[in-house]
Amino acid sequence: MKFAILLACVAFAAPAIAQQATPTPEPAAADAKPPVEKKICRMVEQTGSIVLRTRYCLTRAEWAELNQYTSDRADRAMGQRLMGGNRSFGKEP
């Protein structure tokens, strides 16, 4: 009879002890650092040279911004060319 009572007490106490033994994980959001953006490296050839190349490492957002900027500049240059530019070529002072 004592053995049955002891077994019952152990059976009921075991889950409570197991819950207390496992530490509760603290929220990691407080210590978490923002993810570091991966850099993408590209080799860019220098205009007028077959040998000189420069390595540029930028994030995906920075590459997108650079591509948009150069595309806008090229479009503006082509627009000026088609419209006659500044019309100073060929004029005598």
pLDDT at residue 38, rounded to an integer: 93
Sign of the four-CA dihedral 63, 65, 69, 74: positive
Higher pLDDT pick, 80 / 58:
58
**What is the pLDDT, as a whole number, of residue 73?**
92
Amino acid identity at 19: Q
Q: What is the pLDDT of residues 2-47, one digit of tens each?
A: 545 544 555 555 555 555 555 565 655 556 777 888 999 999 898 8
* Residue 62: both structure tokens together: 């920075």
pTM listed for this prediction: 0.48
What DSSP letter does each residue of 3-38 carry, written as one string?
HHHHHHHHHHHHHHHHHHHSPPPPPTTTTPPPPPPP
Task: List, for residues 37-77, the tens digit of each pLDDT value.
Answer: 899 999 989 888 888 999 999 999 999 999 999 999 999 88
